[in-house]
């Protein structure tokens, strides 16, 4: 299995669409669409993301969280192209019996996230629908001479994360798979997209993508687009969020599972050529940011990862398709993840134990 189901669907939907001659990215190549304005100097970053399945699946039960997230997911796509935010428009489908208090919470979530991200709500649209569904489009601008996409990573580039990862999967696991008697604690989740950090990256990073679909899916996409592999050298205990590590430990799961869920967080994974690592250090220090160096881009298109005392080779394609393959059933997902889709041990490491 080498294709990714979601990519196949997107290719099918986009088939036959004429591309704008002013668009700088091809399909899949960027978290946000990049289009040069007629004036020639400005490149617009435009991204649209909806929240539908997360609500119906019970992941975003709290309307405040749903409101927050519809802003954060779109802001994160702007962050991944290093865009300066301009604003966001929000389209809301509301059930006729949606309680007033829930609507207030929803709007408060949108408002708070818009303020927190400096991404003002420019306008919106409302419709009546059977169930709550949100869709939004965020707009930003990027420097025309320093366009950053998912493409450009080269073997030897260093791989970074903007911060600890895995909290998105931990949240989904704790929310969907742990009943009242579970040993796993609830995971607080109100992510802030890395807009400020992303703006450091144009001119420094060679490729960038957010982890909103999970870390392994992100690595898979970056590897695929750039025809490369990733060797993740950082011990997981130093890269996975402490809350995600604790969730895994209490559930008896290996730490790497926190990278494998289809619900990610809103960190950026990006690559930096050796020669520009000093520039990254300087830019990051200037805003009080400490990116986490994960490892290195490899020529061979394989993803290997250091977990506790072993080196693991991960079938990123298989894991990325897995949630769809099990008809979006979290229990089957976990069973398969630890069963047939589990990483292959390819060596011993002297890494720090993480579980």
Q: Which residues bind a second copy (CB under 8 A)?
A: 9-10, 12-20, 22-23, 27, 32-33, 35, 37-39, 41-42, 44, 46-50, 52-53, 56, 84, 86-87, 89-93, 103, 107-108, 110-111, 114-115, 120-131, 133, 135-137, 139, 141
Cβ nearer to a second copy, comparing 130 with 181 = 130
Cβ nearer to a second copy, comparing 17 with 179 = 17
Q: Is 131 exposed, middle or buried (0-12, 13-18, 19+ CB in 10 A)?
A: exposed
Q: DSSP letter for 240, please.
A: B
Smallest gap from residue 216 Cβ to a second copy (A): 21
Cβ nearer to a second copy, comparing 164 with 203 = 203
Cβ nearer to a second copy, comparing 110 with 260 = 110
Cβ nearer to a second copy, comparing 13 with 278 = 13
* The dihedral formed by the CA atoms of 80, 279, 160 and 85, expressed in degrees to the nearest 10: -20
Smallest gap from residue 32 Cβ to a second copy (A): 8
Cβ nearer to a second copy, comparing 131 with 185 = 131
| CA 5 – CA 3 distance, rounded (Å) | 6
Q: By 3-state DSSP, what share of the chain in percent is helix, strand and coil, each rounded to 5?
A: 35, 25, 40
* Contact indicator for 267, 194 with CB cutoff of 8 Å: yes
Smallest gap from residue 217 Cβ to a second copy (A): 15
Smallest gap from residue 243 Cβ to a second copy (A): 27
Kindly give, in sequence order, each residue whose CB lies less than 8 Å from that of residue 34, ignoring residues fewer than 6 positions away. Answer: 23, 24, 25, 43, 44, 45, 81, 142, 147, 149
Q: Give Cα 225 distance to the centre of its chain.
A: 16
Order of strands across the sheet that contains 344-348: 207-210, 268-272, 158-161, 292-298, 229-232, 303-307, 310-314, 344-348
Smallest gap from residue 129 Cβ to a second copy (A): 5
Smallest gap from residue 120 Cβ to a second copy (A): 4
| CA 148 – CA 172 distance, rounded (Å) | 30
Q: Left if phi > 0, otherwise alpha if psi is -120 to 50, otherwise beta: which for 320?
A: alpha
Cβ nearer to a second copy, comparing 112 with 293 = 112
Cβ nearer to a second copy, comparing 89 with 246 = 89
Smallest gap from residue 266 Cβ to a second copy (A): 16
Residue 19, token pair as written in the block: 């591309």
Cβ nearer to a second copy, comparing 2 with 128 = 128
Cβ nearer to a second copy, comparing 124 with 164 = 124
Smallest gap from residue 229 Cβ to a second copy (A): 27
Strands in the chain per DSSP E: 33-36, 42-51, 84-94, 121-128, 133-143, 158-161, 207-210, 229-232, 268-272, 292-298, 303-307, 310-314, 344-348
b/e sequence 170-185, b meaning 16+ C-beta within 10 Å? bbbbbbeebeeeeebe
Smallest gap from residue 219 Cβ to a second copy (A): 21
| CA 238 – CA 207 distance, rounded (Å) | 22
Q: DSSP letter for 335, please.
A: H
Smallest gap from residue 47 Cβ to a second copy (A): 7
């Amino acid at each position: 299995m080498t294709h990714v189901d979601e990519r196949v669907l997107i290719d099918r939907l986009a088939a036959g669409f004429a591309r704008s001659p002013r668009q700088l990215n091809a399909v899949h190549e960027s978290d946000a669409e990049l289009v040069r304005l007629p004036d020639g100097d400005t490149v617009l970053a435009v991204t649209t993301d909806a929240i539908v399945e997360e609500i119906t699946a019970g992941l975003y039960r709290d309307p405040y969280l749903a409101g927050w997230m519809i802003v954060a997911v779109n802001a994160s796509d702007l962050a991944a192209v290093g865009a300066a935010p301009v604003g966001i428009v929000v389209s809301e489908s509301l059930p006729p019996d949606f309680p007033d208090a829930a609507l207030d919470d929803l709007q408060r979530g949108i408002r708070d996230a818009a303020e927190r991200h400096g991404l003002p709500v420019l306008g919106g649209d409302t419709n009546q629908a059977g169930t709550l569904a949100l869709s939004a489009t965020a707009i930003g601008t990027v420097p025309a001479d320093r366009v950053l996409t998912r493409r450009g990573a080269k073997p030897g580039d260093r791989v970074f994360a903007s911060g600890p990862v895995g909290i998105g999967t931990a949240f989904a696991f704790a929310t969907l798979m742990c009943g009242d008697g579970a040993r796993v604690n609830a995971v607080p989740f109100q992510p802030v997209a890395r807009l400020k950090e992303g703006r450091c990256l144009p001119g420094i990073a060679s490729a960038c993508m957010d982890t909103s679909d999970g870390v392994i899916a992100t690595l898979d996409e970056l590897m695929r687009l750039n025809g490369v592999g990733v060797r993740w050298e950082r011990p997981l205990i130093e890269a996975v969020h402490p809350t995600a590590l604790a969730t895994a430990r209490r559930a008896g799961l290996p730490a790497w599972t926190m990278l494998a869920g289809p619900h990610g967080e809103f960190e950026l994974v990006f690559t930096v050529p050796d020669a520009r690592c000093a520039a990254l250090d300087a830019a990051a220090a200037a805003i009080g940011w400490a990116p986490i160096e994960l490892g290195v881009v490899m020529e061979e298109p394989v993803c290997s990862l250091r977990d506790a005392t072993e080196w693991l080779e991960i079938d990123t394609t298989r894991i990325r398709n897995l949630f769809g393959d099990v008809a979006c059933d979290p229990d089957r997902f976990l069973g398969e993840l630890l069963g047939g889709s589990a990483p292959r041990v390819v060596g011993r490491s002297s890494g720090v134990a993480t579980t």
